[in-house]
Structure 1
């Protein structure tokens, strides 16, 4: 189920999906998520929305990355992922978007439920 939510302090809806997803998944403010990702981006010499950069923040906070099986790449949606994962905290990578999923609900500024998941980060240990 989609839960409409925008952690961005000025309600921007573009270019900060990694920050919003990390903030929701770690249960922290958008500003703190921004700072964590910016610190790693600077240290890594990369941009904040890079999978490697925001992924490093998730890894540091107890998440592990997995690939979505390629059994039906055009028919398995984020909604399907949520139904298959009714418990837990995830950050799911879509084609050009990232979204937090908590206990089977995807939390986003727009209804991204029909998008196709490619990979996901799953909280293995409670990190913060």
Structure 2
């Protein structure tokens, strides 16, 4: 399931999916989430927090679900994920996108539920 939600304080639709997903899943102020990501990227030696490897290092320590491809079968889609995980808070690494899923609902500025899910991190309420 999908519900339109934009964590950006000015409601701007921009290419900030990492910040929106982290802010939404952790229930953190958008600007605070962006400051934290910028601080962490420097600390971890990345030039951008949009780097996929940064995401993996940033979320290290959180329970991680990996959805490996199975030959001859389609990958799990965001819509499938919401049905399989109706409870809990997750950050989803999808094909070319990152989003938040809370209690079986993808919260984002656009419906990305058709995209393949590669990895999901379960985010506890205490981030």
TM-score w.r.t. the length of structure 1 is: 0.86
* 1:66-102 Cα distance to aligned partner (Å, 9 max, x none): 2114237635210001100001110001111001000
Gaps of 5+ in 2: none
Alignment correspondent of 1:52: 53
Say whether 1:37 aligns with 2:37.
yes
Q: Residue 2 and residue 45 in structure 1: after superposition, are their counterparts in 2 closer, same or farther (change >3 A)? A: same
Alignment correspondent of 2:67: 68
- Flag as ranges the 4+ runs of structure 1 deviating above 6 A: none
* 1:32-56 Cα distance to aligned partner (Å, 9 max, x none): 1101111111112211112333444
Counterpart of 1:118 in 2: which secondary structure?
Answer: strand
How large is the RMSD of aligned CA atoms in angstroms?
Answer: 1.9
TM-score w.r.t. the length of structure 2 is: 0.86
